[in-house]
């Protein structure tokens, strides 16, 4: 559970003077195919670049930014960089601020480290997409570089997996930062109302560094079309909720307490993007993820193939890997490794301490699966993602242990957790076989239960977080929205 605001995924969109949720587009009047940039910036475009942008579009819906990009990698990257320039700039700013506050190290230092650690593992196509993004950003007036965007895309791996080991070298301190946490399930066969697949996922993160409100629709020149949740300026998902036109659906939950990172491996964000774009089956998807595994952002992946109604769970440690699959039943994820070798040898997690969020949520998932066996559908999936039952206290109690997390409400904490940390569940997504075959899913930006968060009231009540002034934004209540590739 992420209660300590640390380095993981610093993607808050920094909107001075705004009470809107992080990542809310600054210009809601953007045309379906066009830019939010000024006329002067638009005049810099070449005819070729105008043609690229004519095939892309963005629009805003209930706190989400839908972005469609298509074509060869350089063109896709340019479309992304130009149309989301303001959001990317804001997120980059917050990434730097949170990294420097939490680590005490300068951002340019991290960019140089990322150049050596992550850079060699970026394949040619993804590198071209990143370079195109740099080009689009510069035309829109945002100065960045290939290496900065690589560090930005790999911030999860750098901050939560590489940095603890590097810090240990610099200072004898083996304390690992908290990592992004999620709750997820996938069910099929006799577990669901129609016998098809149902997948649900929500993300738990810090309110100051959560800006995964981009619905990214990628139609590449080669490979499968992808519809996924993402962040501005990312070529991957990060929260890792996706569907593809191969009939694959997927989500993940981080493996809690994980310790392991191979600097010579392929970055997780590259493997995830390659798997989503290139794989036509669960087997192929898993093979891409396993090849060159660097241990960064170690996850339990919940997957489904809506054509065969088969589901799978890939637990991807660094030294140990386990793949389970079935056509009848379910898998759940709550940041506790199920494979005993991964659990015992690669994590510090205590899977029986129900005071911990991960263990309490694991217990709650199993209760809900038993309670709703044979009835699970999209409506129930939404309700389960918004569940507030605390398995430790045995009552409804919105807090860090509930599936819909509210760490900001927690007075009592255990271990290294900090009371009243402004973090918790920041989204919810659901999809079933019918929607996946139409390349669509439903999503809610903000708390899964719809509760609002008032930043100024929170900071007034909890001045220990005063360093977040100007970064922490309110999160208003949002309704559910449906998205479809090509809308």
pTM: 0.90
Given a cut of 60, is residue 165 above it in pLDDT?
Answer: yes
* pLDDT over 50 at 25, yes or no: no
Query: Strand, coil or helix: what is 51?
Result: helix
Contact 302, 333 (CB under 8 A): yes
Strand 64-71 versus strand 214-220 pairing type: parallel
| Domain assignment present for 47 | yes
Residues 127 and 199 occupy one common structural domain:
no
Residue 443 forms part of a structural domain: yes
Say whether both 241 and 388 belong to one domain: yes
248, containing H or E segment: strand 248-254
Are 164 and 186 found together in one domain?
A: no
- 22, part of any domain: no
Same domain, 439 and 467: yes
- pLDDT tens for 344-381 read 999 988 899 999 999 999 999 999 999 999 999 999 99
Are residues 149 and 258 located together in one domain of the fold?
A: no
d(CA 207, CA 403): 16
pLDDT in tens, 277-315: 999 999 999 999 999 999 999 999 999 999 999 999 999
- Confidence (pLDDT) at 3: 33
399 — pLDDT class (breaks 50, 70, 90):
very high
Contact predicate 79/56, CB 8 Å = yes
- Residue 147 shares a structural domain with residue 189: no
Cα–Cα dist 487/484, whole Å: 6
- Cα–Cα distance, 369 to 387 (Å, whole number): 13
Tell whether 459 is covered by a domain.
Answer: yes
Same domain, 250 and 165: no
Same domain, 107 and 209: no
What are the tens digits of pLDDT across the range 212-244? 999 999 999 999 999 999 999 999 999 999 999
- Domain carrying residue 83: 39-170
Q: What is the pLDDT of residue 415?
A: 62
The bridge status of strand 427-432 relative to strand 395-396 is unpaired
Query: pLDDT value at position 22?
Result: 31
One domain for residues 86 and 209: no
Kindly state whether residue 199 falls inside one of the protein's structural domains. Answer: yes
End-to-end CA gap in the chain: 35
Q: Tell me the two tokens of residue 254.
A: 């981080």
Which pLDDT belongs to residue 170? 75
Task: Please tell me the predicted confidence (pLDDT) of residue 39.
Answer: 56
Enumerate residues 6+ apart whose C-beta is below 8 A from 74. 128, 129, 131, 132, 135
- CA proximity to 216, closest of 240, 252, 249: 240
């Amino acid at each position: 559970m992420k209660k300590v605001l640390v380095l993981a995924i610093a993607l808050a969109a920094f909107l001075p003077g705004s009470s809107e949720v992080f990542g809310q587009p600054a210009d809601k009047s953007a045309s379906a195919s066009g830019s939010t940039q000024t006329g002067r910036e638009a005049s810099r475009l070449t005819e070729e670049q105008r043609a690229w942008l004519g095939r892309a579009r963005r629009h805003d819906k209930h706190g989400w930014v839908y972005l469609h990009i298509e074509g060869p990698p350089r063109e896709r990257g340019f479309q992304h960089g130009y149309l989301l320039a303001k959001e990317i700039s804001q997120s980059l700013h917050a990434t730097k601020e949170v990294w420097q506050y939490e680590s005490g190290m300068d951002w340019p230092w991290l960019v140089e480290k990322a150049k050596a650690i992550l850079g060699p593992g970026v394949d040619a196509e993804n590198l071209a997409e990143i370079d195109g993004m740099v080009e689009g950003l510069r035309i829109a007036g945002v100065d960045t570089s290939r290496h900065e965007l690589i560090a930005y895309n790999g911030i999860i791996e750098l901050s939560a997996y590489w940095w603890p080991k590097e810090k240990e070298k610099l200072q004898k301190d083996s304390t690992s930062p908290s990592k992004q946490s999620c709750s997820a399930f996938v069910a099929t066969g006799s577990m669901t109302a129609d016998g098809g697949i149902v997948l649900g996922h929500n993300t738990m993160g810090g309110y100051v560094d959560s800006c995964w409100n981009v619905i990214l629709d990628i139609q590449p020149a080669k490979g499968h079309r992808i519809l996924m949740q993402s962040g501005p300026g990312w070529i991957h998902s990060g929260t890792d909720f996706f569907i593809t036109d191969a009939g694959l659906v997927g989500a993940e939950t981080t493996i809690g307490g994980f310790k392991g990172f191979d600097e010579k491996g392929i970055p997780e964000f590259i493997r995830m993007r390659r798997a989503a774009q290139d794989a036509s089956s669960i087997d192929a998807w898993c093979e891409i993820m396993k090849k060159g595994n660097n241990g960064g952002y170690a996850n339990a992946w919940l997957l489904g193939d809506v054509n065969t109604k088969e589901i799978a769970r890939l637990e991807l440690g660094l030294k140990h890997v386990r793949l389970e699959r079935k056509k009848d039943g379910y898998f759940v994820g709550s940041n506790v490794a199920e494979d005993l070798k991964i659990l015992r040898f690669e994590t510090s997690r205590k899977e029986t301490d129900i005071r911990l969020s991960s263990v309490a949520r694991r217990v709650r998932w199993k209760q809900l699966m038993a309670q709703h066996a044979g009835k699970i559908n999209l409506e129930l999936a939404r309700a389960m993602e918004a569940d507030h039952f605390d398995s430790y206290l045995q009552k409804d109690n919105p807090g860090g242990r509930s599936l819909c997390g509210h760490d900001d409400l927690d007075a009592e904490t255990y271990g290294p957790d900090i009371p009243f940390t402004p973090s918790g569940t920041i989204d919810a997504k659901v999809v079933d076989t019918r929607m996946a075959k139409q390349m669509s899913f439903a999503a809610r930006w903000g708390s899964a239960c719809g509760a609002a968060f008032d930043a100024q009231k929170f900071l007034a009540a909890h001045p220990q977080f005063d360093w977040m002034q100007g970064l922490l934004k309110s999160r208003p209540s949002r309704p559910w929205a449906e998205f479809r590739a090509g809308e």
